[in-house]
Structure 1
C-alpha cells in the first residue's frame, strides 16, 4: 500500500469524502464503508484506503450509498439523491411541502419549525472569528475554527451561520460569535463569547482549557461546545412569542451552559432567574424542572430527593400548562416521577417523541436509558441511534450506544461510537476511562491495566490498586489471585464501589457480591460481565423491588435475555 492511498484517522476520511466526521463514523458502522483499525485496543486509530472508498462509493447505482462530495462544491450542490427518479416520491414531497407550509403558521409546529423565530428573535449567528493570541499557535487555526463552527451548526440546520463582515441593518438582534485562544502553561485556553451586536451586550461567555498537546483537536472541540450552548439558547428562546431583553436571554444562555455541563444547583439558579423575568415562558419552566432533575440526581438522602423531584414535577406541569406540546417538559418529567414507575416514565417519553422532538434528540436518549434499565437493549439501541441521527455532536448518546452494542455482543460495531464519544468530549482522559471501565466487557484486560497505570486517570490509589488486581486476576488462571482480587474490591469504601467494581466482581464470578453492589442500578444487570447475577436466588426479589417485574407484566414485554431459549430462572415469573 502506498502512502498516498492511505487516509489516517476519521478527520482525513471525512475530508476526503466531503462529509462530517460523525457522518463517516456512522457510514462505517451502518453502511459497510471500508475502514481498517490499527491494532492496540478497541478505540485505536483507524485508517482507510482511497481506492477502497472510491470502489465502495461506485457500487450499484440503486445502492443507496452517498456520493463523495466534489471539491469546491457545497453539500447541497454535490448531494446525489438516487431516489429522485421516482415520480411518486416527488409528488409526495409536494404534498409534504403543503403540509409544512400549513403547520408553520401555528405556534406548536414540530421541532424544526423553531428555526423560524417570531418577531424580535433571530436564528442567525454572525461568525466574527477566534483570534490566536499566542505566536506559536498555527496560522490556519482561525480558518479551521470558522470551518468547524459552520459545519457544527449546519449538522441540523437549526441555527444559521454568516461570515459577513457586519450584520444587516434591522431591528432584530444580531448575534456575534467570537473569541480568543492562547496558551496557559500546558493548556490551551479558549474564551468564547456571544454578544448582541446591536446593543453591545455580552450574552454568554465561557472559558475552557484544553490539553496543550492536542492543538489539532481544539477547533473541533470549540465548535462542539459553542454550537451546543448557542443552539440550546436560541432555539429555546425562539419558542417565546414576545421580544426578549438581553438580560433575559443572557440568563437563559447561562442556563444552557450549566445544563449541558451538568451544573446541578447552578442550572436551577439560572432557570429560576429566567422564569422570574418571564413567568409565561413555557420553556423557562421546563428549564426549572430540568434543574431539579440535576439536583435530585446528586442528592443522597432519598427523602430529600423525593421532595426535590416533587418540586421539579410542579415546574414541568406549569410548563405543560403553558404549552402542552413542550417536549422538553414531557421528557424531563420522566426523570422526576417515581424512579421505579417504568410505565409512567415510558408514557412520558413516548408523548415527548410524538409531540415535537428536540433538536438534540434528548428524549430519544432518555427513553433509551429507561429501556436499557428494564433490559430491552435492542429497543434502547434504536433510541440511541435516533438521538445520534438528530444530533451527532453529543458524546453521551455516542457512549450510550457503544455500551449497549457491547452488551448485546456487537462489540465489533461499538468501536466507532466509542471513538466518536472520545473525539467529542472535553474530558482528556475519557479514552483511558473507557478502557478501564469497559475492559471486563471487551476482554481487553491489557488496555484496562495500561489505563490504570496512567497517573492522569483521576482515581484514588486504593481503587486503582483494587481494579488493577481485578484485571490481573481475570487474565490469570490462579484461583488464589482471583480470591485476593475479590477481597480487595470488596474492601473498598462504599463510596468507591461504583459500576466498575460491580461489573468486575461479576466478571470474576462473585455474582452475589456484584448483585449487592449493583442492586440499585438496574442498567448494570444486562452487561455481559453480569450475566451470572441473573441466576442468583436473590435476583427476583430485587427485580420486584425495583418495579421491573410489574413493568414487564403490565407492558407485556420481556428483557432481551428472556427472549432466548433457556433464559435465567426469573423469566418464568413474567
Structure 2
C-alpha cells in the first residue's frame, strides 16, 4: 500500500486542501516561495500536480527552493497565512521560507547545488554543453518500482542467475506499467550483458536490447539510459562505431553523472585502441560509483592494455580473492598471465573463469592445456590448447577467434590469419578484440592482419620502426 508520502495531488484544489488553504494562497507560494509544483508537459499552465513528500520537505525547509521573489505589499500582509512548522522550536521556525535565516541558508544551498552542476558539466566540457532537459520524474506504482530496484541489484551481480532474474523482474515491471521508460532501459542493459555473462547467443540478446532501448526512448526522448543501451548494442552488435560514439556522447550530455555510461564508453574506447581517454572515462565511472566491482575489474583491464600490467595485477589479485564468484577477475588475470608466459598462473585462472561461467568447452581446453604443460612446458601447453580448441571449434563450442589467438602465439601465422578470416565471416563477437589482443603482437606488421583490423573498423596499431 502506498504511504502518504507517495501520494500524488492532481490539481490546485488538492494541493490547497493538503495545506488547509485556498487555491490563491498556494498558487502564490508556488510563484513567490518555490512551492514544489509540477506542470504536465505540453498541457495548459493550470494543469499541475505535486507529491506530498516534496511538499512536506518544503514545509520543513529540507530542500532548497528557488530564491523568493520580492513580496508585494498585499503578499506581505498575507504572509502570516503560511502553515506553521509542526514544532515549538524557534530555530526550526526560522528556517521557514520567508525568514532571513532561511534566505541565507538558501543562498548557500544554491551555491552548493550550482557547484555540483558545474562539476558534472565539467565532465563533458570536451563534448559540448550538457543537455539539461526540463523533465518531470516519472513515478511508477511502488510495487512496480520495487521490481525495478530489485532488478538493478541482480544486474550488478554479473552472474548468469542474477541476470536471468533481472530480466524476469523487468519483464514483469514493464508488463504492469508499459509507460515505465527506465524499466525498459534497464531491461535493455540486461539483454546487452546477458550474452557476455552467460551462454545466451548474441543474435538473440542484442536485438531484444535494442527493442527495449528504443521503447524507452519512445516513451521518454531524453532517457539517457536508453541512449547508453543503444550505444552499447551499436558497438558490440552492429559494429557501427561512429554511431555508438555519438550515442554515448549524447547519453553523457543527458546524464553526466551516470557511472554505467562512463564505464561502458571507456570499454569501447579501449577496444578501439585508445589509452588515455578510456582511463579518464573509467576514472569518472569509479568516482561516481566506487563500490562497483565490475568498474574496478575493468579499470584493471584498461590499465593492462595501456601497458600498465603491474597496476592491473595489483587490482585484480585482491579483487579475485574478495569476489570469488565474479568471472571477470580470473578471466582478466588469465589474459595477463598468458601474455607474461606465467603458465601455471594462467592455467589456474583460465580454469576458474571457465568454472564460474559454466563453460564446459573451456574446461576441456584447460584439462588439455594442463596435460601439455606437464609434458612439454609452455610450448606444450599452447600446442595442447590449440588442438583442443580446434576440436571444440569443430563442434561449434569454441569461436574461430580463440583458435586464431593460440595459433598466433605458436607462430603459426598462416593458420592464425585463416581463422581470423573465418571469425570475420561468422561475425563473431570476439573479433572486436583483434586490434588490442596481445596474442597478435607478432602479426602487427603482417598486411593480412592489418587488413582484417581495418575491415573491422579499427585503425591498426603502429609498428615499431615503421
TM-score by length of 1: 0.47
Candidates 140, 143, 164, aligned match of 1:247 = 143
Candidates 218, 226, 229, aligned match of 1:318 = 218
Displacement of 1:427 in angstroms is 0.9
Cross-structure match for 1:256: 152
Q: Distance in 1 between matches of 2:275 and 2:353?
A: 34
Structure number with the higher strand fraction is 1
Q: Distance in 2 between matches of 1:385 and 1:106?
A: 36
Cross-structure match for 1:395: 293
Structure number with the higher helix fraction is 2
Cross-structure match for 2:181: 282
Provide the alpha-carbon RMSD of the alignment. 4.2
8 Å contact from structure 2 (residues 144, 176) kept in 1? yes
CA deviation string 1:43-66 (max 9, x = no partner)? xxxxxxxxxxxxxxxxxxxxxxxx
Cross-structure match for 2:93: none
8 Å contact from structure 1 (residues 335, 345) kept in 2? yes
Aligned length: 323
Candidates 392, 410, 417, aligned match of 2:315 = 417
More deviation in 362-371 or 490-499? 490-499
SS of the residue corresponding to residue 335 of structure 1 reads helix
Q: Distance in 1 between matches of 2:317 and 2:278?
A: 20
Q: Distance in 2 between matches of 1:566 and 1:341?
A: 32
SS of the residue corresponding to residue 336 of structure 1 reads helix
Assess, with a 3 A threshold, how the Cα gap between structure 1 residues 512 and 390 changes in structure 2: closer, same or farther. farther
Q: Distance in 1 between matches of 2:319 and 2:416?
A: 27
Candidates 232, 235, 244, aligned match of 1:335 = 232
Assess, with a 3 A threshold, how the Cα gap between structure 1 residues 339 and 264 changes in structure 2: closer, same or farther. farther
Q: Distance in 2 between matches of 1:498 and 1:397?
A: 29
Cross-structure match for 1:64: none
Candidates 357, 368, 387, aligned match of 1:466 = 368
Structure 1: 5+ residue stretches without partners: 1-101, 108-116, 123-168, 170-238, 549-557, 568-574
Q: Distance in 1 between matches of 2:178 and 2:384?
A: 59
- Structure whose CA Rg is larger: 2
Displacement of 1:380 in angstroms is 1.9
Displacement of 1:543 in angstroms is 3.0
Q: Distance in 2 between matches of 1:433 and 1:381?
A: 20
Please say if 1:427 is aligned against 2:334. Answer: no
Please say if 1:369 is aligned against 2:271. Answer: no
Candidates 155, 177, 201, aligned match of 1:300 = 201
TM-score by length of 2: 0.57
Q: Distance in 2 between matches of 1:336 and 1:430?
A: 20
Q: Distance in 2 between matches of 1:299 and 1:451?
A: 23
Displacement of 1:495 in angstroms is 1.5
Q: Distance in 2 between matches of 1:310 and 1:438?
A: 33
**Residue correspondence of structure 1 range 457-496 to structure 2 within 5 A:** 457=355, 460=360, 461-468=363-370, 476=378, 483=383, 486-493=386-393, 494-496=396-398
Q: Distance in 1 between matches of 2:149 and 2:157?
A: 12
SS of the residue corresponding to residue 220 of structure 2 reads helix
CA deviation string 1:16-63 (max 9, x = no partner)? xxxxxxxxxxxxxxxxxxxxxxxxxxxxxxxxxxxxxxxxxxxxxxxx
Structure 2: 5+ residue stretches without partners: 1-33, 40-49, 56-85, 87-134
Assess, with a 3 A threshold, how the Cα gap between structure 1 residues 255 and 490 changes in structure 2: closer, same or farther. same
SS of the residue corresponding to residue 376 of structure 1 reads coil
8 Å contact from structure 1 (residues 470, 504) kept in 2? no
Q: Distance in 1 between matches of 2:192 and 2:382?
A: 40
8 Å contact from structure 1 (residues 296, 308) kept in 2? no
Displacement of 1:289 in angstroms is 2.9
8 Å contact from structure 2 (residues 328, 353) kept in 1? no
Bigger relative contact order (CA 8 A; separation at least 6): 1
Please say if 1:531 is aligned against 2:441. Answer: yes
